[in-house]
Amino acid sequence: MHPFVKLAKETVELYIREGKIREVREEELTPELNRRAGVFICLKIDGTLRGCIGTFQPAEPTIAHEIVRNAISAATCDPRFTCVRTDELDAIEYTVDVLTPPEPVKDRSELDPIRYGVIVQAGGRRGLLLPDLDGVDTVDFQISIARQKAGIPPGAPVSLFRFEVKRYQ
């Protein structure tokens, strides 16, 4: 199991079972964990989404801290789902996506829903969709979902950004 996934799993299990936040110890901070990046944590049971929360830009001092914060949020704060229960812990599959910094794009031709995630922005509203998701195989569909998540109506002008992810399972 990759250290990112192991950290997410340990974090969720400790928080759900004991209500404790997993501490990140200095000796755990390998160069890979000590960088800064946006991170998304997705939880699935039998291939069905159970929670997914993340940050597209770093909000914590290290990736390790970002994983801890977002793993707890994915298990307890995703508004689409109830909090993860103790009896579900053994069935959860974890995905940790580490994001590259978002870059603006001029138009849809610079997007690819398999390779790039997308951020749509209009005023203070912003919606994000990760890349390479089941059933999302066109740029228009990807943008449409990100618009919905942000509450941006169809046809409203938006700024587009793309990013790549390194996915760990």
**81 and 51 part of one domain:** yes
pLDDT for residue 157 = 95
- Backbone torsions φ then ψ of 59, nearest 5 degrees: -115, -5
pTM, to two decimals: 0.92
Q: Are residues 149 and 130 in the same domain?
A: yes
Residues 92 and 131 in one domain: no
CATH number, domain of 87, equals: 3.30.700.20
Instruction: Give the number of other Cβ atoms within 10 Å of residue 108's Cβ.
Output: 14
Q: What is the pLDDT of residues 107-166, one digit of tens each?
A: 999 999 999 999 999 999 999 999 999 999 999 999 999 999 999 998 899 999 999 999
Considering Cα of 65, then 70, then 75, then 79, what sign does the dihedral take? Answer: positive
